[in-house]
């Protein structure tokens, strides 16, 4: 992997897709053949022919080769016979046999619902499909969840209710034609940078940008109108905007009459959302609310909205989506170029996972076990006896799944391509669940993760550059990943590991595939005429030539199919009536509001140059230079009152747990609010994990947790941090509050849980050193929003 190529070395250009965000930029990899016959990626550049990025890349995509050269990959399986023991390397075939035998035994003893699957929007479509097929079709459990539950669940549920099916109705092309953009609960500049650039080109050409966020982000900095909203009050704003559009005669009665239902309830409902009332709830100026409504109203049908976690990660996330879609339906700004409610997906294949049904009741092709005909259709494709698929035993999301594990109801869990010990809200339940489970198997590309530390068996996955598979981006565009490089050691494509475990469990009949392409051929059969989920025109052969956007009915049809729901008979939504639905969704407060004991609101999220739990970007020196470490932002007024100066360590505590983070004092956040990224966790030191603090209250429809709002106390940590290891430094912070997690089973910073891998790359220990010695001055410039 580390061979330095000679200049005259032959390289081959391989087209693929970026493995970070849902923008789904095309990559071209320069691949060299080493003297040992192994292929290595030397460089990644933007694919000029790709419709998502036309050659552009952000810092994360551009440093792909650095990531691929990073140490710490799993080269074999790791197995431990006893929880107290160190895991030892094991041949993958043995670990697969053991995994199959132990899952089999648990199913036989406790029934299928004792086994759970927790999967990811970063797996290929084929791996997502097989995980769901194994769980629901063969093991016979509906206990499958994915990290999309933390991410896109509210958008998905909202789309289904409002429009009849999941997935955006429009496309990236809309960004080139809209006259007004409403970006709400989305920090596109940091999290979808290449799409943000495309939007900004249109803004430079005269389109107007409205940004709604409680935090003045890099996105907000570019807005014509920035609405710095009080956290969790978007429903009031969205209803208030509709109130004004209606009052000002800016709705489109013709469209409403022809293509929607439910409008008749709206005018009466909206009476409660006059500007003064909305200003009161949201903390916004009445004039600003009026200005936003005017901008949208004057755009006519030519406006679009983008949203992500600021709306989704809420106990009324589904309602947020409904209320946002209401605005589009009322103005007729949907299903035409330059218009539409556009949910941006987070992960590179979260859209694919939603299509494969990897959450709760889902079945492939946007189907559900709750619908008898859809069960029957799936049983037919999977060659299962009628009545095999179950409609019962559907769970209520990720949080509930880990709670059931902690309660002993679920006894085994197979976690693939996600790191829940770091990323799930109120993570203590996850840790309790994994500790209580009889058998935990994880499947990752890297050895050292917060979650692997709890596994009995760790299976080594191949990266997306080492295996074929399909990724579907935010706009329903499919790109093929290629096996451009060789996986290290015994690492294997995720889909293949899943298929081999299934075969070893006795399900050869459903899982004997020779290639990812064969799996894809089966996936295509799930064409769904009801939702227009249609891959009939897509094949690997076609994808080797070009990306294709669904709905794609014919191989000789167009590659781009940007507007959904418009057919030969005009516009028809996939609801029973063919009409989209207005929902009256009243404002509700967040589940946990500040009080005397916990007087601040904690908001969490991302920074531009890091990805999630840092297993990837945390190994790239260039990115660590740009976003070097954890922090908590608080307002100067609050910092003053608390006696906190820039760089001081601050304890952020909730009813559930605490984190200790260096302060960034900034008016980027509102008074009474604070913000921390969730990137830095146990591998970087103790008390860094903000998900020890966050709330696991969930939306009752989407079961998505409210990562964006919980009540916390802030206190300066008085004791100076000693020059010492992470443990001693954290220990100096004071007594552990009763009931707070003590991460004993979690890897101490700078060491390796298995004693097998090389210690973390130097950049990580440098970061830890920086943290311990109070590097903090530099943080301000590393934080988003600051040039
Ligand atoms: N650099 C980088 N890019 C990424 C990722 C990454 O880890 N790093 N992850 C990817 C993934 S999986 C996802 S899901 C996306 C997430 O992309 P985003 O959703 O854009 O990112 P977040 O930082 O989680 O949250 C977005 C914004 O919501 C705001 N917010 C918080 N509370 C509220 C509220 O009550 N109302 C409103 N209107 N806004 C609120 C936050 O202040 C924040 O600016 O990013 C993707 N892209
Ligand atoms: N506080 C707070 N918490 C959040 C959020 C927030 O805004 N605030 N956002 C939530 C959201 S939107 C998301 S999407 C989640 C993300 O949360 P996670 O999914 O837990 O985050 P990742 O770090 O992306 O974890 C992916 C894991 O898969 C491994 N991996 C990478 N590629 C592969 C592969 O090809 N195969 C296999 N087998 N493994 C691979 C990585 O090494 C890593 O361990 O976090 C959620 N958590
Ligand atoms: S915008 Fe997203 S997909 Fe494009 S290069 Fe950056 S991280 Fe990759
Ligand atoms: Mo996400």
Residue spans of alpha helices (H) in 372-493: 372-381, 397-406, 420-423, 428-436
pLDDT of residue 719: 60
- pLDDT (mean) for 232-247: 98
Task: Compute and round to an integer the Cα radius of gyration of the chain.
Answer: 25
CA of 706 to the centre of ligand 4 (A): 13
CA distance 282 to 293: 15
In eight-state DSSP terms, residue 173 is: G
Q: Angle, to 10 degrees, between the axis of helix 275-282 and the axis of helix 234-247? A: 160
Q: Per-residue pLDDT for 488 more than 60?
A: yes
Dihedral (CA of 698, 704, 710, 716) sign:
positive
Domain ranges of the chain: 11-68, 77-151+348-571, 153-344, 600-740
pLDDT of residue 10: 83
First vs last C-alpha separation in the chain:
35
Residue 473 CA: nearest ligand 3 atom is 3
The answer to whether 451 and 613 are in contact (CB under 8 A) is no
pLDDT of residue 9: 67
Q: Per-residue pLDDT for 79 more than 50?
A: yes
Q: Per-residue pLDDT for 601 more than 80?
A: yes
Residue 194 CA: nearest ligand 3 atom is 1
Q: Per-residue pLDDT for 770 more than 60?
A: no
pLDDT of residue 736: 31
Which DSSP string corresponds to 466-532?
Answer: EEEEEEE-TTSEEEEEEE-SPPSTT-B-HHHHHHHHHHHTT-HHHH--SSHHHHHHHHHTT-BTTTT
Q: Per-residue pLDDT for 763 more than 90?
A: no
CA nearest to 609, candidates 389, 743, 786, 361: 786
**Other CB atoms within 10 A of residue 309 CB:** 25
pLDDT of residue 84: 86
Q: What fold does the segment set 153-344 form as a domain?
A: Dimethylsulfoxide Reductase; domain 2 (3.40.228)
Dihedral (CA of 351, 352, 355, 356) sign:
negative
Q: Per-residue pLDDT for 143 more than 70?
A: yes
Residue 464 CA: nearest ligand 2 atom is 35
Structure tokens at 1: 């992997």
Note the pLDDT tens digit of each residue in 702-711: 999 999 999 9
Note the pLDDT tens digit of each residue in 662-695: 999 999 999 999 999 999 999 999 999 999 999 9
CA distance 30 to 12: 6
* List of residues 6+ apart from 295 with CB closer than 8 A: 180, 208, 210, 224, 225
Q: Per-residue pLDDT for 750 more than 50?
A: no
Ligand with minimal distance to 608 CA: 1
- Which of 353, 431, 446, 613 gets mutated to test ligand 2 (max ligand atoms within 8 A of its CB)? 613
The answer to whether 354 and 167 are in contact (CB under 8 A) is yes
Note the pLDDT tens digit of each residue in 249-288: 999 999 999 999 999 999 999 999 999 999 999 999 999 9
Q: Is the CB of 212 under 6 A from ligand 1?
A: yes
Residue 151 CA: nearest ligand 2 atom is 12
Q: Is the CB of 134 under 6 A from ligand 1?
A: no
CA nearest to 289, candidates 222, 250, 236, 327: 236
Ligand with minimal distance to 191 CA: 1
- pLDDT (mean) for 474-497: 98
3-state secondary structure 268-288: HHHHHHCHHHHHHHHCCCHHH
* List of residues 6+ apart from 214 with CB closer than 8 A: 228, 229, 230, 231, 310, 603, 669, 670, 673
Q: Is the CB of 190 under 6 A from ligand 1?
A: yes
Maximum alpha-carbon separation in the chain:
74
Q: Is the CB of 308 under 6 A from ligand 1?
A: yes
CA distance 87 to 266: 60
Q: Is the CB of 229 under 6 A from ligand 1?
A: yes
CA distance 344 to 341: 10
**Other CB atoms within 10 A of residue 153 CB:** 28
Q: Per-residue pLDDT for 774 more than 90?
A: no
Ligand with minimal distance to 314 CA: 1
What is the rounded average pLDDT for all residues in the chain? 91
Note the pLDDT tens digit of each residue in 554-582: 999 999 999 999 998 999 999 999 999 99
Note the pLDDT tens digit of each residue in 144-153: 999 999 999 9
CA distance 272 to 251: 18
Is cis: bond before 551, omega within 30 of 0? Answer: yes
Q: Is the CB of 469 under 6 A from ligand 2?
A: no
CA distance 604 to 706: 10
CA distances 780 to 189, 312, 647, 774, Å, are 17, 28, 9, 13
Nearest Cα residue to atom 26 of ligand 2 = 418
Ligand with minimal distance to 604 CA: 2
CA of 433 to the centre of ligand 1 (A): 27
CA of 396 to the centre of ligand 2 (A): 20
Ligand with minimal distance to 308 CA: 1
CA distance 375 to 355: 15
- pLDDT (mean) for 47-55: 98
Note the pLDDT tens digit of each residue in 313-370: 999 999 999 999 999 999 999 999 999 999 999 999 999 999 999 999 999 999 999 9
pLDDT of residue 663: 98
Q: Name residue 457's beta-bridge partners.
A: 79, 441
What would be the CATH architecture of the domain defined by 11-68? Answer: 2-Layer Sandwich (3.30)
Q: Name residue 39's beta-bridge partners.
A: 33
Q: Is the CB of 594 under 6 A from ligand 2?
A: no
Structure tokens at 320: 């947020």
pLDDT of residue 2: 52
- pLDDT (mean) for 119-127: 98
CA of 191 to the centre of ligand 1 (A): 7
Q: Per-residue pLDDT for 40 more than 50?
A: yes
Nearest Cα residue to atom 44 of ligand 1 = 187
Q: What's 600-740's CATH class?
A: mainly beta
The answer to whether 614 and 608 are in contact (CB under 8 A) is no
Nearest Cα residue to atom 19 of ligand 1 = 309
* Per CATH, domain 77-151+348-571 is 3.40.50.740: yes
pLDDT of residue 718: 81
- pLDDT (mean) for 34-40: 90
Q: Is the CB of 729 under 6 A from ligand 1?
A: no
Question: At 764, is the pLDDT very low, low, confident or very high (cuts 50, 70, 90)?
Answer: very low
Note the pLDDT tens digit of each residue in 582-595: 999 999 999 999 99
- pLDDT (mean) for 115-132: 98
Q: Is the CB of 127 under 6 A from ligand 2?
A: no
- pLDDT (mean) for 179-185: 99
- pLDDT (mean) for 166-170: 97
Question: At 603, is the pLDDT very low, low, confident or very high (cuts 50, 70, 90)?
Answer: very high
Nearest Cα residue to atom 15 of ligand 1 = 346
Q: Name residue 407's beta-bridge partners.
A: none
Portion of the chain with pLDDT greater than 90, in percent: 89
Q: Per-residue pLDDT for 396 more than 60?
A: yes
Q: Is the CB of 191 under 6 A from ligand 1?
A: yes
Question: At 4, is the pLDDT very low, low, confident or very high (cuts 50, 70, 90)?
Answer: low
What residues flank ion ligand 4 with Cβ within 5 A?
Answer: 151, 346
Two domains, one topology: 11-68 and 153-344: no
Nearest Cα residue to atom 22 of ligand 1 = 605
Q: Per-residue pLDDT for 733 more than 60?
A: no
CA angle 389, 390, 396 (to 5 degrees): 130
CA distances 700 to 147, 424, 704, 708, Å, are 17, 17, 8, 16
CA distance 468 to 480: 7
3-state secondary structure 532-556: CECCCCCCHHHHHHCCEECCCCCCC
């Amino acid at each position: 992997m580390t061979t330095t190529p000679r200049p005259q070395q032959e390289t081959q250009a391989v087209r693929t897709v970026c493995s970070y965000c849902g923008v789904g930029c095309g990559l071209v990899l320069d691949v060299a053949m080493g003297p040992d016959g192994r292929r290595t990626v030397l460089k990644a550049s933007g694919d000029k022919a790709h419709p998502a990025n036309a050659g552009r890349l952000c810092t994360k995509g551009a440093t792909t080769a650095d990531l691929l050269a990073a140490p710490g990959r799993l080269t074999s399986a790791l197995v431990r016979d006893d929880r107290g023991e160190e895991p030892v390397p094991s041949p993958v075939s043995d670990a697969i046999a053991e995994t199959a035998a132990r899952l089999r035994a648990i199913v036989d003893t406790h029934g299928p619902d004792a086994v759970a699957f927790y999967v990811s929007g970063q797996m290929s479509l084929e791996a997502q499909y097989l995980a769901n097929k194994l769980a629901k079709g063969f093991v016979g459990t509906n206990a499958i969840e994915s990290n999309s539950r933390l991410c896109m669940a509210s958008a998905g549920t909202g789309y289904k209710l409002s429009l009849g099916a999941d997935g955006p109705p429009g496309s990236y092309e809309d960004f080139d034609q809209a006259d007004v953009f409403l970006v709400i609960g989305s920090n596109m500049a940091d999290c979808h940078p290449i799409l943000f650039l495309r939007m900004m080109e249109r803004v430079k050409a005269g389109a107007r940008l409205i940004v709604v966020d409680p935090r003045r982000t890099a996105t907000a900095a570019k807005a014509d109108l920035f609405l710095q909203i009080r956290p969790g009050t978007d429903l009031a704003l969205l209803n208030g905007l509709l109130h004004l559009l209606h009052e000002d005669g800016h709705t489109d009665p013709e469209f409403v009459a022809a293509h929607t239902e439910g409008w008749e309830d709206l005018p009466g409902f909206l009476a409660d959302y006059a500007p003064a009332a909305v200003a009161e709830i949201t903390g916004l100026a009445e004039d600003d609310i009026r200005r936003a409504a005017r901008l949208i109203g004057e755009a006519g049908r030519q406006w679009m909205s983008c949203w992500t976690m600021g709306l989704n990660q809420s106990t009324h996330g589904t309602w947020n989506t409904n209320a946002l879609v209401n605005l589009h339906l009322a103005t007729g700004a949907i299903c035409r170029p330059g218009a539409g409610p556009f949910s941006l997906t987070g992960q590179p294949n979260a859209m694919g996972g939603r299509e494969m049904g990897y959450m709760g009741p889902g079945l492939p092709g946007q189907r559900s076990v709750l619908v008898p005909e859809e069960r029957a259709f799936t049983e037919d494709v999977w060659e299962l006896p009628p009545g095999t698929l179950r409609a019962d035993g559907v769970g209520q999301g990720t949080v509930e799944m880990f709670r059931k594990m902690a309660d002993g109801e679920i006894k085994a869990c197979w976690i693939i391509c996600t790191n829940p010990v770091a990323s799930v809200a109120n993570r203590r339940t996850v840790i309790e669940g994994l500790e209580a489970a009889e058998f935990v198997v994880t499947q990752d590309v890297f050895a050292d993760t917060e979650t692997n530390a709890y596994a009995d068996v760790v299976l080594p996955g191949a990266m997306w550059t080492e295996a074929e598979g399909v990724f579907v981006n935010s706009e329903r565009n499919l790109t093929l990943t290629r096996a451009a490089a060789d996986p290290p050691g015994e690492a294997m494509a995720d889909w293949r590991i899943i298929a081999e475990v299934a075969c070893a469990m006795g399900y050869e009949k459903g899982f004997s595939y020779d290639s990812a392409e064969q799996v894809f051929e089966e996936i295509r059969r799930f064409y769904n005429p009801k939702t227009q989920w249609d891959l009939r025109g897509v094949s690997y052969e076609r994808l080797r030539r070009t990306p294709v956007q669904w709905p794609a009915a014919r191989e000789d049809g167009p590659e781009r199919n940007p507007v959904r729901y418009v057919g030969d008979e005009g516009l028809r939504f996939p609801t029973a009536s063919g009409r989209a639905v207005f929902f009256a969704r009243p404002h509700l407060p967040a589940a946990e509001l500040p009080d005397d004991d916990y007087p601040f609101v904690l908001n969490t999220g991302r920074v531009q140059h890091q990805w999630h739990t840092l297993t990837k970007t945390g190994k790239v020196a260039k990115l660590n230079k740009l976003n070097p470490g954890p922090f908590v932002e608080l307002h100067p007024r609050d910092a003053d009152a608390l006696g906190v100066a820039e760089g001081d360590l601050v304890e952020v505590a909730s009813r559930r747990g605490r984190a200790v983070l260096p302060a960034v004092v900034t008016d980027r956040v509102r008074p009474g609010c604070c913000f921390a990224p969730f990137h830095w966790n146990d591998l970087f030191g103790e008390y860094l994990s903000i998900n020890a603090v966050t709330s696991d209250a969930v939306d009752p429809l989407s079961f998505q947790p409210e990562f964006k709002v919980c009540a916390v106390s802030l206190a300066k940590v008085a004791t100076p941090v000693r020059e010492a290891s992470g443990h001693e430094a954290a220990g100096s912070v004071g007594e552990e509050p009763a009931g707070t997690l003590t991460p004993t089973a979690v890897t101490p910073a700078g060491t390796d849980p298995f004693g097998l891998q090389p210690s973390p790359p130097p950049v990580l220990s440098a970061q830890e050193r920086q943290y311990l010695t109070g590097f903090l001055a530099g943080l301000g410039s590393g934080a988003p929003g600051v040039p």
